[in-house]
A and B are shown apart, each in its own frame.
Chain A
Amino acid sequence: MAQFVADNLAVRFGEGVQRVSDDFGDLTVWVDRSIVHDVLAHCKRDPELRFDFCMDVTAVDYLGLGGNPRFAVVYHLYSLSTGKRVRIKSGVPESDPVVASATDVWKSTDWFEREVYDMFGIRFEGHPNMKRILCHQDFVGHALRKDYPADLRWKNPRPDDLVDEISPQEMERMQARVRKGLSD
């Protein structure tokens, strides 16, 4: 269906593309962890592919399913101009759960990557604010890992400080706006 996508990536990255499957029209491309960022940037900027919309970033824990490596990060991409979709997958070992952040390619991956970190403990290198997004900051462990007990809870003693959710640049802009409003 979208064979040209797989061909394009195979030509550009060669051995880096590990596996391609096209089940029921859902194209999935497994790539090496070291080139995930390059593949994503290529998918967005290549004039033939133009995957300008990163719909979701998530992860899978293959514990008990014989997965090697244990985790996989999954990027769901969509092209608004060609209407094509592709799923980029990459294996992540438990011993070194780190992937390059795609926040410089799509800004929207910021919160997706934080969610993956919160739920699976996979860190994204180069992310501007790599911290938990759903669970509170006193939470221990990562809830969607298969070896996490389903009902193990951690008490939250204090409300989260939401001010550090705002980037320093945005904070500066807001303060400038307030100062301007006061002077007017």
Chain B
Amino acid sequence: MSPRKTAAQIADQRRVIEPPPTQVGEARGVFSTQLEKMVAWARSGSLWPLPFGTACCAIEFMSVVSSHYDLARFGAEVVRFSPRQSDMLIVAGTVVDKQAPILKLIYEQMCEPKWVISMGVCASSGGFYRAYHVMQGIDEVVPVDVYVPGCPPTPEGLIYAILKLQEKIERGEPSRYQEILLEHRAAEPERHVLAET
């Protein structure tokens, strides 16, 4: 236990903690902003990806998060394998019709706000699988924010997509999911009365 401080000692301590007086317009350590902007900035730099890897794109994703390309440089390296803990779904690979409900279920389990990157042509459009068993683009079941072309895309391509998504978040734009939600509310307001109030 430290001995009780005298009033003079406490006043002396306070004097040290107080910032030095500055002139107007020269304020240091303090800035004013809007809460939304602050939150958007913070979110853009702390994306937690959830890989939904089904094909060779997932191999490229592995190299993106490994040391050589090192996604950690861009603040999106905390790869989670639980949808409850992540906010950026990266669909890397071919998604067949049989898997579509599984992908949708995983997407629905993610907490909002959430974003989706469709990596590679298979996830974006079905790619060369114009066939009886492959979904012609995952946007049939989940809203996609960024599409990455390539078969598979280069690691730089995926990094560029993540940077694009970060820019979008930082600008405060709604995710594709929120856009679709707004469209639905505008189209059928009576269905969304509870959600509005």
Contacts and interface: CB of A to CB of B under 8 A. Distances in A.
A interacts with B: yes
Interface of A: 134-136, 139, 143, 148-160
B132 interface: yes
Given A155-B100, A156-B97, 14 more contacts: A135-B97, A135-B133, A136-B97, A136-B98, A148-B132, A150-B131, A151-B131, A153-B133, A153-B134, A155-B97, A156-B100, A156-B101, A157-B101, A160-B98
A145 B13 CA distance: 86
Contact of A150 (B105, B132, B136): B132
Contact of A143 (B98, B130, B132): B132
Interface of B: 97-98, 100-102, 105, 130-136
Contacts of A157: 101
A4 B102 CA distance: 52
Nearest to A141: B132
Contacts, number: 39
**9 shortest A-B CB distances, which residue pairs?**
A136-B98, A159-B101, A143-B132, A156-B97, A151-B130, A158-B101, A159-B102, A156-B100, A156-B98
B132 A153 contact: yes
B97 A153 contact: yes
Contacts of A148: 132
A150 B98 CA distance: 17
A82 B101 CA distance: 47
A150 B130 CA distance: 8
Contacts of A158: 101
B97 A154 contact: yes
A135 B131 CA distance: 12
B174 to A, nearest CB: 27
B105 A159 contact: yes
Nearest to A148: B132
Contacts of B136: 153
10 contacts: A134-B98, A135-B97, A143-B132, A150-B130, A150-B132, A153-B132, A153-B134, A154-B97, A159-B105, A160-B98
Identify the interface centre among B102, B130, B133, B134: most chain A CB within 10 Å of its CB: B133
A120 B102 CA distance: 26
Contacts of A149: 132
A20 B70 CA distance: 61
A143 B97 CA distance: 13
B131 to A, nearest CB: 6
Kindly name the residue among A139, A148, A154, A156 whose own CB sees the greatest number of chain B CB atoms within 10 A.
A156
Contacts of A153: 97, 132-136
Contacts of B133: 134-135, 143, 153
